[in-house]
Amino acid sequence: MKAVVIREFGPPDSHRVEEVPDPVLADHEVLIDVKAAAVNFPDLLVVTGKYQILPERPFSPGKDAAGIVAAVGSGVRHLSAGDRVVAQVEFGAYASRLAASEAQCHQIPDDMSFVDAAAMGLVYQTAYFALVDRGQYRRGESVLVNGAAGGVGLAAVQIAKALGATVLAGVASAEQADLARRNGADHVVDLSVANLRDAIRDQVHAAVGKRGVDVVLDTLGGDVFDGAIRALAWCGRIVVIGFAAGRIPDIKANYLLVKNISAIGLQWSDYRSFTPERVHEVQRELTKLYQQGAVRPNVMRTYPVERFAEAMSVVHAGRALGKIVLTFD
């Protein structure tokens, strides 16, 4: 089979696509002929050796793969050869064949393309868990999504709007603002301005009033986080998803106390490990929203797997609007 192989950690262009043996199935696993694999920001951290979970080398990166089941292990009960599935794994998706446990696989409907299914993997699960499970969103509340043009951010904009929120999109350019509005954002918060500590709160107040915003979903950290936490309403919640801006912010506990606000972390893969039934439940809800037309991934571009380094460089440079997806012959 064809696979991106990481033999030593390094930048994307230091790795190669190689011909390697097909994986050997365990009893609880299915073998998937992969048609599409999403490029996620954590993939960059994995291949460069900077992620919190690093596989034993050599390995193939990639966390979302969509395709057709080619074979099943003797212990598999609910999937069969020929089923269309998306798998959400820790690594291994950048390969033409993937062995994944049955618990990590979700059947996809015939009206969902493999590209859309891969694009709706990690980022939509992350966005949903951040908003609903961690952020305890209640219908009708206001939600500020920082990094709203990225994979998780744009998914969060769509999901929040589909669930009845007033959505504020934190973006850094006119192009990103237009994309966020086209995907359901009611208001735009400009993150490219100076003095974000005050500017974010001022823009939020102008959009929804001086009470502030009920929920913040933050993928950026840094100065954006520092400004966003000051824009929270009384009893508001800010969910920490990532630090794409580079700096991990400090949180002053007295500020949480004074405003009765909560700062909450999200590590989605823990849910896959500890409550897989909840992950399947959320996947069914996301599929239903997709079939209703309420959510739809914005796939900026697809690349053949041989051009994976180019695809990853787009994500690394912050130029991806929505999702980048790798395809396989």
Tell me the per-residue pLDDT of 31-84, one tens digit each, with 9 for 90 and over.
999 999 999 999 999 999 999 889 999 999 999 999 999 999 999 999 999 999
Q: Tell me which CATH homologous superfamily contains domain 2-120+298-327.
A: Medium-chain alcohol dehydrogenases, catalytic domain (3.90.180.10)
For the chain, helix (H) and strand (E) counts, in that order, are 11, 15
Per-residue confidence (pLDDT) for residue 329, from 0 to 100: 83
Per-residue confidence (pLDDT) for residue 234, from 0 to 100: 97
C-alpha span between 95 and 142 (Å, rounded): 40
- Token pair in block for residue 122: 């990690």
123-268 architecture in CATH? 3-Layer(aba) Sandwich (3.40)
User: How far separated are the first and last CA of the chain, in Å rounded?
Assistant: 11
- Angle at the Cα of 207 from the Cα atoms of 317 and 159, rounded to 5 degrees: 55
Helical axes 222-229 vs 196-208, angle rounded to 10°: 50
Residues in the chain: 329
Pick the closest to residue 322 from 155, 171, 116 (CA basis).
Answer: 155
Per-residue confidence (pLDDT) for residue 245, from 0 to 100: 85
Beta carbons of 90 and 122 less than 8 angstroms apart: no
Per-residue confidence (pLDDT) for residue 145, from 0 to 100: 98
DSSP letter, residue 148: T
Query: Do 2-120+298-327 and 123-268 show the same overall fold?
Result: no
C-alpha span between 202 and 189 (Å, rounded): 9
User: HEC states along 174-203?
Assistant: HHHHHHHHHCCCCEEEECCCCCHHHHHHHH
C-alpha span between 193 and 126 (Å, rounded): 28
Q: How many CB atoms lie within 10 A of CB 324?
A: 24
Per-residue confidence (pLDDT) for residue 53, from 0 to 100: 86
Task: Tell whether the torsion through CA atoms of 70, 79, 275 and 279 is positive or negative.
Answer: positive
The domain spans of the chain are: 2-120+298-327, 123-268
Identify the segments of the chain with pLDDT beneath 50.
none
